[in-house]
Structure 1
């Protein structure tokens, strides 16, 4: 008997746009279902450079990610095969030695800043979502997040934002908005958009015989 294809939902947007909030809202709604969250951030490339050099890497450029590995893992999950997802450690700016075993699920939420930049990744998605949030709001959220959870100084956060985060957003992330099926202003606060997504996901689940 042929296995039923999982639903793949891509959620993208700029750094601190609310991608995770949208992904979590979907995840929580389908908490009783077969579902997993796949984060592009886990697929930053492993580097052998010293720490002082790793800090200088442009982590907002497409080349910072091991996209072939991400595509391979997503393809395996779509074909109902388990994968060992890498774990990225922000404190050392490098991939750790640990992995997380992910079993295939009926609903896969792929979240990351550059997931719509790659045509092959886009082709694997059933629903493509772009979370559209003002630059000022995003930089304030990023400062709060990085100082609290990643132990970074205010100066380093601002310098990185001005040098790479903002220009890469306008060069790569924002242009990918044209590939989105749904644009969600203000992220997880937009309950109407969340409800629309949930309704669409339920319809595809029913269509593929993957009902809750």
Structure 2
């Protein structure tokens, strides 16, 4: 009887709007045909049902305390044991965790994406490959404005205020220091095709060529 290999976990981190999602999806596309999924740390913001909307809007979402890392560690461990999880869903329109959950099946490769995934040693220890997407502050701000005005219906003034008060300071205090834990640093905001190709090749060498049908979630 053949024992199933432990899933591979690729951690992809960097500042807000650094290009983490671009890198994650690029890896996924290069590994089509393999059993692979994406798990986002943003899904694991803490439940804030006990707070008013005004209190939620004042919450510092770039601080480690904003995330339910205990639940993320638990569910990631379940996926490593090839158990299906009910992943939380975060609703940005109400700044709170939704009452709904999303079923996520276990896969042979898990891409864990988020700004603070390397901050928690429990998560770091579960990763096989750790990637830091390195992008200049001004580029990240421009991307954040473009994203939040279109996708989240926010005003430019509110985005800039939040960026200056919490996003940028938290990046330099908590996110950027985790760069020292990375195995691979990808510059130029996730557009470095050479680095992504090399990373995908490394994962393929670990997986071998006998992978099963792909399972994709993002």
When normalised by structure 1's length, the TM-score is 0.96
- The aligned residue for residue 6 of structure 1 is 7
Q: Distance in 1 between matches of 2:55 and 2:189?
A: 34
Question: Unaligned regions of 5+ residues in structure 1, if any?
Answer: none
Q: Distance in 1 between matches of 2:5 and 2:162?
A: 43
For residue 93 of structure 2, the aligned residue among 91, 94, 98 is 91
Q: 1:31: Cα distance to partner?
A: 2.4
For residue 106 of structure 1, the aligned residue among 98, 105, 108 is 108
Contact 1:22 1:188 in 2 (8 A): yes
Q: Distance in 2 between matches of 1:156 and 1:131?
A: 25
Contact 1:14 1:169 in 2 (8 A): yes
Contact 1:34 1:106 in 2 (8 A): yes
Q: Distance in 2 between matches of 1:51 and 1:124?
A: 35
Question: Unaligned regions of 5+ residues in structure 2, if any?
Answer: 214-218
List aligned pairs for 1:50-65, cutoff 5 A. 50-65=52-67
Partner SS state of residue 87, structure 2: strand
Give the length in aligned residue pairs. 211
- The aligned residue for residue 216 of structure 2 is none
Q: 1:90: Cα distance to partner?
A: 0.6
Contact 1:202 1:211 in 2 (8 A): no
Partner SS state of residue 76, structure 2: helix
Q: Distance in 1 between matches of 2:77 and 2:53?
A: 32
Q: Distance in 1 between matches of 2:107 and 2:96?
A: 28
Contact 1:13 1:131 in 2 (8 A): yes
Q: Distance in 2 between matches of 1:211 and 1:99?
A: 26
Contact 1:25 1:188 in 2 (8 A): no
- The aligned residue for residue 28 of structure 2 is 27
Instruction: Please tell me the root mean square deviation across aligned C-alpha atoms, in Å.
Output: 1.3
Partner SS state of residue 103, structure 2: strand
Q: Distance in 1 between matches of 2:201 and 2:4?
A: 23
Q: 1:206: Cα distance to partner?
A: 1.9
Q: Distance in 2 between matches of 1:89 and 1:29?
A: 30
